[in-house]
Structure 1
Amino acid sequence: MKKIEAIIRQETLDDLKDAMLNTFEENPIGMTVTQVLGFGHQKGLKDYVRGQEVITSFVPKIKVGFVLEDKCVEQMIDLIVKTCQTGNVGDGKIFVYPVEEAVRIRTGERGESAI
């Protein structure tokens, strides 16, 4: 099992959700969504408030997380890139982590049957 975390633009979340539901229709995959702040190469946003330039150091983003079977990882990465890529700075990043164990609290199921 693997965990994929993707930091994406807020405006691409609904498109990603729809694409994910269509792609994995037969074997649904859950998604966890968190609102986050951060900066990278973009180094914040420049905005104007009452004629004054204001630089925001942290840019609002969305972090989405998925725990998947190993065989679905590349398909999910491709889907995220295809759906969330605008070609501009600030499109985000994808991180992939190994997952040692998963346990469904309600039933006590373990492993891939718990996801």
Structure 2
Amino acid sequence: MKKVLIVDDASFMRINLRKILEKNGFEVVGEAADGLEAIRKYFTLKPDIVTMDITMPKMDGIEALREIKNKDSSAKIIMISALGQEKWVRKAVIQGAIGFIVKPYKDDYVVQALNKL
């Protein structure tokens, strides 16, 4: 069972994603509401996969992605954001994201994307 850390500043998005993932055999080991919390929890919980929003308070998802990848190059982080514009996708991939899911998303698409990892 793959362990997942969900990072999103919107609690309803974290709840929704948790339901989708747990229903499909993933273990959600934690949640974070901003980039700083995501970094702390990543190194404490050691998840297999991180789902990371981009626009968040304190530290955005791109910066958190960069910080995590600098310390753990094998981290598997998939960005999930309403900002599906090409420049954000490019920034995320350059920083080491292994995928990008645009909100609003379909449940089965999220599950397929995470199962590929």
How high is the TM-score relative to the length of structure 2? 0.29
Would you tell me which structure has more helix in proportion to its own residues?
A: 2
More strand per residue: 1 or 2? 1
Normalising by structure 1, we get a TM-score of: 0.29
